[in-house]
């Protein structure tokens, strides 16, 4: 279920690392799908939605960890299920 919030909390999507991540995963984030993508990321990381700062902190940790490739694969699989 996609929760609607007033104002998007996806500011971290504009970070160069996120842009690179989405590019690597071949995910096009649009105005229409960014809330769904954001919620998937929050769910994967067990971060309360719409806490964008906490989500971005966890994404950075995952990308800097030994399991960065595993995280990318899991994120890609989760986003592919949305049929973006």
Tens digit of pLDDT at every position of the chain (84 positions): 555 544 455 789 999 999 999 999 999 999 999 999 999 999 999 999 989 999 999 999 999 999 999 999 999 999 999 887
Q: Delimit the domains of the chain by residue range.
A: 31-84
Reading the block at residue 62, the tokens are: 């995952």
Total-model pTM: 0.85
Q: Are 46 and 57 in contact (CB under 8 A)?
A: no
DSSP state at residue 66: T
How far, in Å, CA of 82 to CA of 69, rounded? 20
């Amino acid at each position: 279920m996609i929760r609607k919030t007033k104002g998007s909390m996806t500011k971290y999507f504009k970070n160069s690392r996120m842009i690179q991540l989405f590019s690597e995963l071949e995910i096009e984030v649009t105005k229409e799908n960014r809330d769904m993508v954001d919620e998937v990321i929050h769910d994967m990381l067990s971060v309360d939605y719409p806490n964008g700062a906490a989500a971005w902190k966890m994404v950075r940790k995952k990308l800097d960890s030994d399991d960065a490739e595993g995280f990318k694969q899991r994120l890609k699989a989760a986003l592919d299920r949305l049929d973006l």
